[in-house]
Amino acid sequence: MTLPIGTLLAALALLLVVAALIAQPLLGPRRPAVLPESQRDRLERERKRVLRAIREIDFDQRTGKLDADDYSRMRGDLEAQGAAVLRALAGLQTTPVTRDIDAEIEAAVAALREKPDLSRACAKCGGQVSRSDHFCPHCGARLPA
């Protein structure tokens, strides 16, 4: 059988497009299946829970399942909870958790930089040398281990 080259090319192009569409979700950026719940996620979940609870008691009040006293007490509690959650969320937004990287590096370096133990003297020049020195820093003589 003979097909016009144009038809073959068009079919091939279509095939490539379809293959790309099928493969695209598979080639997308890999995300871990379960992300650890962040503080923000927890607060968002809490905010939704409070909103849902408020809607529920609003509904219960309208349908006469809650008397006015219970309703206003519960509604007040939920509004206070909602306000606390919103304040916490706003706090997260204004003060992002930033680590003082410079301070951490300084601390790590300081921990590594142990004070030299100048308890030895060089046999050649008599200068003070550290226990960890292999060569005398004053005269360059090799020091015993």
Question: Footprint of Zn ion on this chain (CB under 5 A)?
Answer: 122, 124-125, 127, 136, 138-139, 141
b/e per residue 20-38 (b: at least 16 CB within 10 A): eeeeeeeeeeeeeeeeeee
Rounded Cα distance, 84 and 55, in Å = 18
- For Zn ion, the closer CB: 57 or 143: 143
Rg (CA), the chain: 36
Residue whose structure tokens are 């006469």: 64
- For Zn ion, the closer CB: 59 or 135: 135
Smallest distance from Zn ion to CB 32, Å? 58
Smallest distance from Zn ion to CB 138, Å? 4
Smallest distance from Zn ion to CB 100, Å? 42
